[in-house]
Structure 1
Amino acid sequence: MSDIVKGIIGGGWPLLIGWILPAALNVLVFVLVVLPGAGLAGGRGISQDGLLVGLAAVVVGLLLAAVQTPLYRLLEGYVGWRPQTGEPRGWRPGAVLERWRRRQIERRQVLLGRVDLVELTQLDGAGRLADGDERERLAEVRADPRLAPYRADLARSAAQLGLLRERLGRYPVDEQQVVPTRLGNAIRRLEEYGYDRFRLDSQRMWYELSVAAPERAAKQVDQARTTVDMVVAMLYGNLLLAAATLGCTLVAAPGAWPLYLVAAAALVLTRGWYQLAVLATDDWAAAVRSLVNLGRQPLAESMGLRLPDTIAAERDMWSKVASTVARPYHPRRAALDRYRAARPDQAAAEAGADPPPGPS
């Protein structure tokens, strides 16, 4: 019985901490601050108020968790965004988000230029700058007018440069993967990690990878994701709190002007929650990196494949696996056969040993 209870609590922990707890905090503020301030509090007792807060928190938390995918997509800048080839015009959502994407690309290029300027200048000063691409890149960043205000970076300490690299690290490696918002890029970098390094499409094969990877690595991903969920839930909870508070002002008793302060504070906090969500993705990205690095070999073995000896061959293998998973079968998918692991009897025959005994 205790094992069953532990399983239920363990499975529901991300839901409880990530969505229900933030909902409970916002509901608590609404019941204990907004309703009395609007003169709408009834004659309920403490036990009734506690039951109301608990039920409302569970309902709101479950609703937010049920629609978490569109909620995330809205913050990531995917909702309404349509990449355009020409110069976007007007105030259509797609055009606005495309401008935001171009601005994010510009910020990434500036951050990359600042990091390259410092690192290549240090190599040049130490006499270890290689001829060719490195010297061309150094000349390029020195001549870039966008980097003129950041010449002070050359005097930054190692810790300050580390923070600069962290900001750059919250963007995808591939500029084509950049999306319109900071949170979207911070999440996109962990989504592209497996594909960029090994051509392992971790998004398409997420469930297979999670099952095959070491249990601790998969648990770390869930824990890191729960932290981001909690911050996102607080953000949307504050938005709902502000909307509900403004709604209460329409029917509030005279002198309820402090409710406007509550609504304003909730709206201001949403910006802080957004920034915190961006920072919280660092642990999430590190956990996904660990999952990919440690789960590649178990995943290959569980799919009956043999992990190649070279990175180039491994990238070719995972590319073929992704093609097999994403597209209907075609005879050219048989190219994956070269990476299939030999059966025990075949391996024994190749090694010149007797095959393992069969079932008696």
Structure 2
Amino acid sequence: MGDIAKGVFSGAWALLVGWIVPAALNLSVFVLAVVPTLQRDALVARLWPGPQLKVSLLLLVGSVLVGLVLHALQNSLYRILEGYVLWPNAAYRYGCRRQLRVKHGLRDRIALLRLERRIQEGRAGADAAVQLARLRSTPAVTRHARRDQRRSVAQRALLQEGLSRYPVSDEQVAPTRLGNAIRRLEEYGYERFRLDTQVMWHELTGCVSDQTRRQVEFARTRVDFFIALLYGHGVVASCALAALLSSRPQTDVLIATASALIMLMPVWYWSAVKATDEWAASVRSLVNLGRKPLAEALGYSLPPELQAERTMWTLISRLSRLPYHERTASLDQYRTGSTPPPA
């Protein structure tokens, strides 16, 4: 009973903080700033409750309902911001090229700083001068070279932090910052161990400890919170602008409300991108700690060699994703109690 209560509380906490609380904040702004400016025609007067108690109850019920709807639509909401849904092909390709340039620019700036440090310490190789000239001739590097040289050690670490928000493979780059920040945690298991966490997610989370699983849930809740705020601000700002079309609007209040919400939307977007750092760390812990329990739960023994492990996870992920093929019979060598695979 205690485990059931913990599971219910964990799920309710993620729903409450991630979606219902932002919905309550956005509805409160709508009720306080937009509703009083609307012309009270017969329809509005009939639908809108009068006593303060009824308004508070309406906010509570509306926040829960809107939060539940947002939670149910979360995959679609994420995919829009990641650049996978409702993006024209031309915009998608342009966004990918732009994000790829940003990634390469960060990589080259970090490489230049490291190369200059090795040259100063006398640890550079014979081809250091050629590499230095090539990096300094890159436009994305020359624009920031002088400012990067004045950075402290902590400030230079921020460049590496920005680069870490991109997937390792250039083929996995998404057209938006949020898409790349999420894509890097989605491809972590596959890039390191060939464990496709997108396919094996439920099996993986079912084998780890409750603490590890809760870390992933709570880390994602932070991102959910900012995503819900962003979408809610967009809807409330649109309602405020639409209210300007009424016959006697309070123009100053509506314009101020819409302007403030629109200016806050990039802040919430960037906050969501930053919040993915904790999410990525929790997924990394999930993969590193959960591989061995997952292999044992599936009836396999984790090979001692890394390359053999990568082969095993490739076959297991393929077996879960695709129809059975005779080639997957080679998984027999990794089954518990079978002869160890050759080195």
TM-score with structure 2 setting the length: 0.90
1:192 counterpart residue number: 187
Specify which of 150, 155, 166 is matched with residue 150 of structure 2.
155
Distance between the aligned counterparts of 2:49 and 2:254, measured in 1?
Answer: 21
Unaligned runs of 5+ residues in structure 2 are: none
253-262 or 292-301: bigger deviation? 253-262
Rate the CA distance shift 1:3–1:125 in 2: closer, same or farther, 3 A: closer
Q: Please state whether the residue corresponding to 2:33 is helix, strand or coil.
A: helix
The structure 1 residue matched to 2:289, chosen from 286, 290, 294, is 294
Stretch moving more, 163-172 or 244-253: 244-253
Q: Does the CA contact (< 8 Å) of 2:240 and 2:257 recur in 1?
A: yes
Structure 1 pair 317/3, CA: closer, same or farther in 2 (3 Å)? closer
RMSD across aligned C-alpha pairs, in angstroms? 2.2
Q: Is the 8 A contact 1:214 1:294 kept in 2?
A: no
| Alpha-carbon distance in 2 for matches of 1:2, 1:140 | 62
**Structure 1 residues 247 and 155, CA gap change in structure 2 (3 angstroms):** closer
TM-score where L is the length of structure 1: 0.86
CA drift of 1:80 comes to: 4.0
Matched, 1:264 2:270: no
Equivalent of residue 309 in structure 1, options 304, 309, 315: 304
Per-residue CA distance 1:181-239 (angstroms, 9 max, x = gap) = 00000000001111111111111111011111222111100000000001000000101
Shift of 1:95: 0.4
Report the CA distance shift for 1:294/1:149 in structure 2 as closer, same or farther (over 3 A). Answer: same
Q: Which residue of 2 aligns with 1:32?
A: 32
Unpaired segments of 5 or more residues in structure 1?
Answer: 82-92, 348-360
Identity percentage of aligned residues:
47
Q: 2:329 aligns with which of 331, 334, 339?
A: 334
Q: How many residues align?
A: 333
Q: Give CA-to-partner distance per residue, 1:168-190, whole Å, 9 cap, x none.
A: 11111111110100000000000
Q: Flag the structure with more relative contact order, 1 or 2, with Cα contacts below 8 A and sequence separation at least 6.
A: 2
Change (3 A) 1:2 1:167: closer
CA drift of 1:139 comes to: 4.6
Residue in structure 1 matched with residue 137 of structure 2 by the alignment: 143
> How far does residue 252 in structure 1 lie from its aligned partner after superposition?
5.6
Indicate the larger mover: 72-81 or 279-288.
Answer: 72-81
2: CA distance, partners of 1:38 / 1:80: 32
Conserved in 2, the CA contact under 8 Å of 1:116 and 1:138? no
The structure-2 alpha-carbon separation of the partners of 1:190 and 1:99, relative to structure 1 and needing over 3 Å to count, comes to: same
Match of 2:168 among 173, 181, 187: 173
- Aligned counterpart, 1:53: 59
Partner SS state of residue 257, structure 1: helix
Give the drift of 1:155. Answer: 3.4
**Offset from partner CA, 1:214-271 (integer Å, 9 cap, x none):** 2211110000000000100000010111122223333363544311211121112111
